[in-house]
Amino acid sequence: MNTRDEALALDAADPLAHLREQFDIRPGLIYLDGNSLGVMPKATPARVQQVVAQEWGTGLIGSWNSAGWMDLAPRIGDKIAQLIGAKPGECVAADSTSVNLFKVLSAALTIARADAPQRMRIVSERSNFPTDLYIAEALAAERGLELVLADNPEELPALLDARCAVLMLTHVNYRTGRMHDMAALTQLAHAAGALALWDLAHSAGAVPVDLRGSGADFAIGCGYKYLNGGPGAPAFVWVAPRHAERFWQPLAGWMGHAAPFEFTPGYRPAPGIRRYLCGTPAVLSLAALECGVDTVLAAEAHGGMAALRQKSLALSRAFTALVEVRCAGFGLSLVSPHDDAQRGSQVCFAHPTHGYAMVQALIARGVVGDFRAPDILRFGFTPLYLRFVDAWDAVEQLRQMLSHEEWREARFNQKAAVT
């Protein structure tokens, strides 16, 4: 992709191009932040309006039965299952990623240590997303266990030994976009007698995931990133069927009970994945999440995740190459892997001092990325709605912004609460 015309030609030949029509994207906007908050599907406002006005407004309490509100969590879980190599009945949509991590990490620790109490370690990476590490730290403290962190992925295999209970990793790193080999690391964890738990926050809807094929034990993921479920959308939780009935998760609320409407004393966990539910489902948010998941499933008829992955790699490869050539000399260094097999669906560059202001100045030019402290400029490539010409134009805007040193303006240097 050496000219803008070549980018336009790639778009014209792209069999997934029409999927963009599922979204409302304001003309001129280049949105490279679908890895943080996915774009709103066109179908969402009408669906949410229907749930509010008809199902809630008119149907009131009767809608729990007549509108299938109780089926939302498993129904959407089944749809997400199609994107992550799982089967129906293995996944539910509920709560937040952080809360779901608490549930599955509790389960994983209990199961892994049942016959091996000497396994005292949760192994993860120092660069994992902070909420994952906070939850692990809290659980480790509560249970008198140890959280051991690798400084880079190469150190992980040596940490998988008889002391490890659970390997807890995020499949695609939020800062670097580096993607782990899920099957290989899961196999190493199992060979050491440990369990493997995967956070799919930057994977579900972004890269092909094969939970069953890779032998994973537990997984969680995010609804508002590549699944386009809306701000604060419910997350999801998956448990390998071989483990699902071995544990009562500690947030043993009534929605995870075998018979919530019998109102009996004493917790009896529901069979299978439903026991990973806790309280009353967030119906409005689930309705929006379903619209988002449907936008990804719409790709199924056109090659599905494999085709999306091909396009995502083509976009991120082209963007990286263009930045390296056209924005050379401005102090940006590539943080994401060049190697396709190791890269998720985002491209990150580091700048030692002015990364935040550069992102702000770029946003002012209509190219939305984000900044991750201390030094990362992050660009997400959502193949569902991005075009090759967007990658071209984004680099051109970046080049102009950098060469005019627009990031020096005071207004771009004032940090907002969300970066």
Ligand X SMILES: *Cc1c(COP(=O)(O)O)cnc(C)c1O
Among 44, 124, 170, 186, contact with ligand X (rule: CB under 6 A): 170
Nearer to ligand X, 135 or 192 (CB): 135
> Among residues 201, 286, 323, 368, which is the contact residue for ligand X, using CB under 6 A?
201
Token pair of 285, please?
A: 């948010």
Beta-carbon contacts of 151 under 8 Å, excluding residues fewer than 6 positions away, are 125, 126
Query: Which has the closest alpha carbon to 73: 296, 211, 279?
Result: 279
Output 67 or 150, the one with its CB closest to ligand X: 150
Residues in 218-277 that interact with ligand X by CB under 6 A:
222, 235
Applying CB under 6 A, does 199 fall inside the site for ligand X?
yes
Instruction: Return the range that interacts with ligand X (CB under 6 A); candidates 199-207, 277-285, 291-299, 325-333.
Output: 199-207
Residue 98 near ligand X by CB under 6 A: yes
Number of residues in contact with ligand X under rule CB under 6 A: 13
- Of 19-27, 149-157, 197-205, 408-416, the window that binds ligand X (rule: CB under 6 A) is 197-205
| Residue selected from 23, 31, 102, 174 as contacting ligand X according to rule CB under 6 A | 174
- Looking up tokens 């702000």 gives 360
Q: Which of 199, 294, 375, 390 is catalytic?
A: 199
Q: What DSSP string runs through 254-280? A: GGGBS-GGG--SS--BPSGGGGG--S-
Of the two residues 19 and 133, which places its CB atom closer to ligand X in the complex?
Answer: 133
378 is catalytic: yes
Residue of 78, 90, 125, 132 interacting with ligand X (CB under 6 A): 132
Nearest to 165 by CA among 107, 125, 119: 119
Q: Does 96 engage in binding with ligand X (CB under 6 A)?
A: yes
Q: How far is CA 83 from CA 46, 209, 305, in A?
A: 25, 7, 7
- Please state the closest distance from residue 38 (CB atom) to ligand X, in A: 11
Judge whether 263 counts as a catalytic residue.
no
* Contact status, residue 190 vs residue 243, Cβ threshold 8 Å: no
Q: What is the Cα–Cα distance from 186 to 124, expressed in whole angstroms?
A: 13
- Catalytic entry in 174, 224, 276, 319: 224
Q: What is the DSSP letter of 54?
A: I
Q: Is 290 exposed, middle or buried (0-12, 13-18, 19+ CB in 10 A)?
A: buried
Spatial contact of 74 and 209, defined as CB atoms under 8 Å apart:
no
Q: Any idea which residues carry the catalytic annotation? A: 129, 199, 224-225, 378
Q: Which residues bind ligand X (CB under 6 A)?
A: 96-98, 129, 131-132, 170, 174, 199, 201-202, 222, 235
